[in-house]
Amino acid sequence: MHKKEFIPISVEHKFFLDQYINEVLSSVKLCSNDVKYNDFIYVYNIIIDYHNQYKESGIADGHIYDLINIIPMNLSSAVQGFLSGVKNQRNKTKVEFHQEIVSKLGIDLYKKLETIKIYVE
C-alpha cells in the first residue's frame, strides 16, 4: 500500500515529522508481517488525510497548534494500539522495546514541535 504525504506548515514541521514518521513506521515494520504493515499504512493514510483536509479547509488558520498536533497525537495512539495488537509470547520483548522507543520518540517530537515559530501573514 502507498504511504501518503502530509502537507507541512513549515520546513521545520516537515523535518521533525518526517523523522518521527520514519521511525514509527520502521518499528511497525520490524514488529509485523507485510499484511499487518499494510493494514497499519491504511490507518496511517487516514490520519494523513485528516491532517491534510484540516490544513486545506482553512479551519487551521485560527487553530495552527491543533493542526501541528493532529499527526503526532493520532499516530502515537494508532501505533501503540497496533503494537499491542501484534504482541504475543514469542515477540513480547521485541514489541515492548519498540513501544518504549515510540513513546520516547513521541515525547521528543512534542518538545521539538514546541520550538516551531509560527508567523501569521
How is 51-119 classified by DSSP, letter by letter? HHHHHHHSGGGG-HHHHHHHHHHHHHHHHHHHHHHH--TTTHHHHHHHHHHHHHHHHHHHHHHTTPPP-
Domain annotation covers residue 39? yes
Domain annotation covers residue 4? no
Quote the domain boundaries for residue 64: 11-113
Domain annotation covers residue 108? yes
The pTM of this model reads 0.91
74 with 19: CB under 8 angstroms?
no
The set of residues, in sequence order, having a beta carbon less than 8 Å from that of 28 and lying 6+ positions away, is: 37, 40, 79, 82, 83
Tell me the pLDDT tens digit for each residue of 77-112. 999 999 999 999 999 999 999 999 999 999 999 999
